[in-house]
Homo-oligomer: A and B are copies of this chain.
Amino acid sequence: MESIADELFKEFRENSIAEFFRKNRQMLGYAGKVRSLTTIVHEYVTNSLDATEEAQILPEIRVEVKEIGEEKYSVLVRDNGPGIPKNIVGRALASILSGTKFHRYMQQRGQQGIGASGCTLFAQITTGKPIHVRSSTGKESYECDISIDIKSNKPVVSNMRDVSLEFRGLEVYGEFADVKYENSEHGVFEYIKRTALANPHASISLLDPTGKEYTFLRSVNAMPKKPKVVKPHPLGLEPGDLVEFAHRSESRRISSFLIDTFSRVSDAKINELKQLVSFDLSKSPKELTWQEAEELIKAFKSMKWVAPEFDSVSPIGEKYLGLAMKNIINPEYISVVERKPRVFRGGIPFVVEAAIAYGGGAGRKNDEGEEAGGNIIRFANKVPLLFDSSTCAITYAVKSIDWKRYGIKDFEQEPVSVLVNVSSVFVPYSGVGKQAIAQEEAIIDEIKLAVMDAARNIQRYISNVRSRNLAESKYKTIMRYITQLSGDLSELTGNKQEVLEEKLKKLVDTKYKKLFETDEQSNNTQDIEQGKSTQDIEQEEGEDEDKGAS
């Protein structure tokens, strides 16, 4: 006899992750034609930046987008990175959740082994075409076609042949339908522009579908400091992590396992721990139970620790960020802040950088290219985030600031751009498409502090501009009467009118004009290029902080 349950569960099956994403491609960022095209470019460019950084090569990246049919485009991305070995290339580009980066405790743009395989999948389900790959590693040099067997999530490599290539690195070419190239805030051009902004060591060129060439040359000729693979900090652990690490460990004792596996654990710390837990730290880590792991974590939390190693985190850097903003946004005024590293969830290090640009090219533009108010430019690990803005911790933090306190009456109306970059070994993205940072409290707080810090300089600048404008208008008013006044005085005193007018002008100049002329110089963004941060300059002026508040 069969139960209803037996009947209902007859169709029970296991599905591959590739099949899941084939049905739910919007979760990978393939929702909307413009977004889908940007997602493709994003995945390939991100991989190129990671690969060149790991191999310590100054990146040269070439992107070509061509229209090949109705809502059909080809995308080519070529880099000068290390290339991919022949025996790996299939799995690297056509097997979801495969990769080298998943288990490393180190800051990288990609991490999940989803991006490039997602592109292969998307090409396949929209045009039925494999991607074409050419790569030279210095040892091997080949080309091939790669697609993905959706049922098994395994790569299918075909037409593999050795060729001699004119470049060293990796070139990926794919054809995609259901996509669209658009020159909007969410388009490929904006994505590449912002990538260049956050990666001043990279040269990136773009050929767009109209045949136009854009080149973003590197503004810095040095590689960013290579982020180190570090050991996790005891305060960033959960019982599950600890048990897993312990059961995989080759150490003979829990004590040596802790010292070897985590940062900041010393013999002295082990002695301290011994007093705090109920079990023997000299037993094998393979025997560590969940309850004991919980005890250890409780003990960790009651102890004093040196902060985690921050070498794992690689921000853009105050100087480069200011420089890049000047090049790309060209505002009247820039204020840049790099905060000290912090930790979230107890022990995961992260760094927030914030920059605010005001006036000039800053702010959002509407479709007619007119000023339309404040905008927020978001980055995570130097990767631009163009989508899902409303769920992002950065948006939330920036919008929760009381901008009036900083002389900005309505953020939505003024020519202001707020840029935030969050760097971490582990950025908690809110979705697989990695377009928004989850709203972790510690991260939100730190973003707010960074932006408010930068906003204080903006407030001083705006306040200066306002008093300058006031002085300027007084100056102009007085100047208007000087000719009349000098005539009257000349009659009264018998002095020459021209001489009197000249003297009066000098007097007024001394009193009013210097007020705004001086300010103009000190607020010049040139200072950034001389390696002097705008912050220092503003502090030297010692302006009243509350002046600009209204």
Q: Tell me if A276 is interfacial: C-beta within 8 Å of chain B.
A: no
Interface segment, A19-27, A353-361, A497-505, A530-538? A19-27
A124 close to B (CB within 8 Å): yes
Q: Which residue of B lies closest to A432 (CB)?
A: B27
In the assembled complex, the CB of A23 is this many whole angstroms from the nearest CB of chain B, namely 8
For A429, list chain B residues within 8 Å (CB): 24, 26-27
**Complexed CA–CA distance, A388 and B10 (Å):** 35
A17–B438 touching, CB < 8 Å:
no
Report how far A99 CA is from B15 CA in the complex, Å.
Answer: 8
How big is the A interface, by class?
Answer: 35 or more
* A305 interfacial by beta-carbon distance below 8 Å: no
Chain B residue with Cβ nearest A84: B5
CA distance A183 to B240 in the complex (A): 29
A14 close to B432 (CB less than 8 A): no
- Please give, as numbers and ranges, the residues of chain B lying within 8 Å of A15 by CB-CB distance: 97-99, 102, 113
Question: Which residue on B lies nearest to A178, using beta carbons?
Answer: B238
Contact partners of A11 in chain B: CB under 8 A: 100, 103-104
User: Which one of A134-142, A196-204, A451-459 is at the B interface?
Assistant: A134-142
Tell yes or no: A239 within 8 A of B by CB. yes
Question: With the chains together, A38 CA to B104 CA distance in Å?
Answer: 32
Interface check A326, CB cutoff 8 A: no
Q: How far is the CB of A427 from chain B (nearest CB, A)?
A: 11
A100–B6 Cα gap in the complex (Å)? 12
Contact A8 B54 (CB under 8 A): yes
A55 touches B140 (CB 8 A): no
Question: Is A428 an interface position by the 8 A CB rule?
Answer: yes
* CB closest residue in chain B, given A55: B4
Please report the C-alpha to C-alpha distance between residue A244 and residue B54 in the assembled complex, in whole angstroms: 39
Least distance between A434 CB and chain B CB atoms (Å): 10
Q: Which A residues between 31 and 53 are near B, CB-CB below 8 angstroms?
A: 31-32, 51
Q: Which of A88-96, A267-275, A279-287, A374-382 touches B?
A: A88-96
The answer to whether A243 touches B128 (Cβ under 8 A) is yes
- Assembled-state Cα–Cα distance A91/B14 (Å): 9
User: Contact: B100 with A14, CB < 8 Å?
Assistant: no
Asked if A481 is at the interface (CB within 8 A of a chain B CB), the reply is no
Name which of A1, A5, A125, A140 has the most chain B CB atoms within 10 A of its CB. A5
Q: In the bound complex, how far is the Cα of B244 from the Cα of A294, in angstroms? A: 49
User: What is the CA–CA distance of A390 and B388 in the complex, to the nearest angstrom?
Assistant: 9
> Is A317 engaged at the interface, CB distance under 8 Å to the other chain?
no
User: Contacts A1-B139, A128-B240: A14 and B92 contacting too (C-beta < 8 A)?
Assistant: no
Q: Could you tell me if A100 and B3 are in contact, using CB atoms closer than 8 angstroms?
A: no
A6 to B136, CA, bound (A): 12
Contact in complex: A12, B98 (CB < 8 Å): yes
CA distance A429 to B431 in the complex (A): 12
Contacts of A98 in B (CB 8 A): 12-15
Report the Cα distance A211→B127, complex, angstroms. 58
Q: Which residues of B contact A431 (CB under 8 A)?
A: 27, 430-432
Q: CB within 8 A of A139: which of B3, B32, B138?
A: B3
* Cα separation A138 to B140 with both chains bound (whole Å): 63
Specify which chain B residues have a CB less than 8 angstroms from the CB of A125 in the assembled complex: 238, 240
Known pairs A3-B83, A126-B238; A92 contacts B430 (CB<8 A): no
Given contacts A22-B240, A125-B240, 13 further A-B contacts (CB under 8 A): A2-B139, A5-B83, A5-B137, A6-B85, A8-B100, A9-B100, A15-B97, A15-B113, A19-B102, A20-B112, A23-B102, A126-B240, A128-B290
Q: Which 8 A-B pairs give the minimum distances between C-beta atoms?
A: A128-B290, A390-B390, A5-B137, A3-B139, A125-B240, A3-B137, A5-B82, A4-B82
* 28 sampled A-B residue pairs with Cβ under 8 A: A3-B82, A3-B83, A3-B85, A4-B82, A5-B83, A5-B84, A8-B82, A10-B100, A11-B103, A11-B104, A12-B88, A12-B100, A13-B98, A13-B103, A14-B98, A16-B97, A17-B97, A24-B428, A24-B432, A31-B428, A31-B439, A126-B238, A127-B290, A128-B290, A128-B293, A150-B244, A430-B431, A431-B431
